[in-house]
Chain A
Amino acid sequence: MSWVTQTFSSSLGRKLIMSLTGLFLCTFLVVHVSGNLQLFNHDEGYGFNKYAAFMSTFTPIRVVSYGLYAFILWHAVQGLWLAKDNRKARGAQRYVVVHNQSTWASRNMALLGTMLLLYIVVHMHDFWYVYHYGDVPYRQYEESLVTGEISSTPYTGQPIKGRLEEYVREDSQTRVTIVKDLYKETTVAFSNPLLVLFYVLGMAALAYHLVHGFWSAFQTLGWNHPKYNPLIRFLGVWVFGIGIPLAFAAMPIYFYIKSLGA
């Protein structure tokens, strides 16, 4: 057996993969949430739609995103495989009474992970699939280069090539942007309370998964040091466990509330 297979088939090696893929997914979350925060802009989706178009067309990002999908799958498959083996290690006979001295989240990473996988499938279908292969309308934005004012209308002209077309009017006063209107898709999708609930639950699962998962990844990497543990714990709980899931969960809620007012 080569050292590579030996390392990555061992219990520690498999955990190492969980840790590295998990941390990669954490960095993705940071990017994802910061981009998506543009949903809260009062620009009728101008910034967000441009961002979405950029992310799905810029080659380096596209390469990374395929890596991301692979890592999600790897993380999930490896995790489920570990969970299966771990269950087997306990033996056929279970305890009658259990008072485990550990956090609920830490004991249920596989369950939380499965919920997240389900969430990702729905989420990818709702937005990624629709955006790439569905019938998403275009929107035309006109940004005044003098006042910065933005106005928009549904685009009904000739079909454009690609997801975004941008030009400045001849009078050099207005920038016209025609872009796939994912913002509109988002608005429509999150007017459905059931979907909002599903997303909020998904983010709750993410919160619990990361409250344990983030520091756990460092522990698996062997990074357990009295000096730096507080920082990792802080990031794990406040940034990844609470901040990011909260920001994500705010989005569907925001659109739902908006839809009530409309």
Chain B
Amino acid sequence: MATSPKLDAKIPDGPLETKWTKYRSTVPLVNPANKRSLEIIVIGTGLAGASAAATLAELGYKVKAFCFQDSPRRAHSIAAQGGINAAKNYQNDGDSVYRLFYDTIKGGDYRARESNVYRLAEVSGNIIDQCVAAGVPFAREYGGLLSNRSFGGTQVQRTFYAAGQTGQQLLLGAYSGLQRQVGAGNIAMYTRHEMLDVVMIDGKCRGIIARNLITGELERHFGHAVLICSGGYGNVFYLSTNAMGSNVTAAWKAHKKGAFFGNPCFTQIHPTCIPVSGDHQSKLTLMSESLRNDGRIWVPKKKDDNRPADQIPEDERDYYLERRYPAFGNLVPRDIASRAAKERCDAGYGVGTSKMAVYLDYYAAYERYGKGEVNKRGIHNASADQILQLGKAVVKEKYGNLFDMYKQITGEDPYQVPMRIYPAVHYTMGGLWVDYNLMTTVPGLYALGEANFSDHGANRLGASALMQGLADGYFVIPYTIGAYLASEIRTKAISTDHPAFVQAEKEVNDRITKLISIKGTKSPEAYHKELGKIMWDKCGMARNEQGLKEAIQEIRALKKEFWSNVKVMGDVDEFNPELDKANRVADFIELGELMCMDALDRNESCGGHFREEYQTEEGEAKRDDENYMYVSAWEYQGESQWELHKEELNYENIKIAQRSYK
């Protein structure tokens, strides 16, 4: 297998350890005077977008930032709960840049690019420094130093956190940096704006068409470079832990204008979510993976056991993760934990009314922490109940907000009964293909954070998404963008009256007009739901050839129906969330087809991609390194037509092994 000539990853030469430091020192620079006349457009204001926009503005570039929310502070990074990894080794437990790099590659089931991941691990420490300096109130120990917790897929404690609201605190930190530059006039912030197309001039990306979501007006914006930081596309499944507004539109428009889409089928299903309660469900809620640190996951040993959890004796419980993976136990990576839960439920051992759930039990943790407290306080002859109460108090301090959230949503008190959890779509490892500079296959068009495909291979480790978003925005793009912009200093700002802008705006306008004029019978929401069902059933936690082929046909039919029968209420020139939704659903439908094609192409099981045909006798994923150790990068060639390009993955610093957590 050889890498397609269209995919030049531009990985610097030299040993892995010095690639980034050396490249950083040799990448072309733009002098401060020239930076002032270079305009950069940033789409999305999550961790990647906000940190990139702020940092580029600090450097002196003219930045325009766009978000569809009413404030940049609401980007969905805010909902990340558990933490952010960094190879600081503050706990003196043997962590290092290499170990974080190794864990990430292994966790990603050997489908990520070595050089990018190593760089990620290298800058991880700087991220924590930057965030602390910016006022992020991370959890601390009594000595005043930072606290760490452990997370799935690792054996060291390298996760920094702020209770169960780490994403919120990090985003607000990045957002405050962004707002500081807005106040200083270095960033023009466009809220309630949605990017609806990329404008190409002479083969380079030169701007965007955006829609003002309040007035419905289309706007043209020029930029020497455009950064897509618009997050992932988990909402293609309709139900996911993503925010309602999270969408693929910006990335998809970029894709249709020439940016290749990398590994679209790599989807992460998060093992600890609150199970679906009914048809009305509009989204799923995640319970932080950190809960697996102290909780034990089990199902009854007996099929269709309808007894309440507390009436099932210890020896009739199957702690299946501890049984199958004694080395990592409940802390196996997400893909493995999710599949194991599905396996038990499919086999008929599920719990709850829907039988599509497993227990996450804190009883053992109450006892363990309770005994610890009894010793600490020197209480003799503590009663079992007293121990339990003390233990509950400790758990409350650590996970109180998560427990409250569970109670709020389910109406059950998790301090009294074990929580019920089930996997849900959470993150998409796939995204726009980018090179080492984070540039897509379109010159001048970049993708950062979850919107790109780069660092997590086929499965992302917990607490690594925040790390990647901030690494890309704070410490990578500010350097690597110079490689392109240094050659653009002579390009004057192009007038938005240029025919390419006029043409792009017309295309967007035509599509919107078409959407609203169909006046069919079904709401965009209804189509979204249907698409989600196809994707979840046939391209979800487990996939097979036949199902995927069916899914492609069904999606094509759905697309046809959508474009002839969708009903979009309201007008074009007003605040119209229905129209916004229709625009997004139309793109999700196209993406769904590509995801199925990618899943069909990949005749192996790896990470979040599990093909039922390719598994070991024990039901573990069976990789095919011989034939599939590549990044699939899909080139859009017209409706329902894509060409697959392959980027071969070379592992020079890691010994590839069957991933084992046993």
Indicate if A touches B (C-beta under 8 A). no
Q: Which residues of B contact A (CB under 8 A)?
A: none
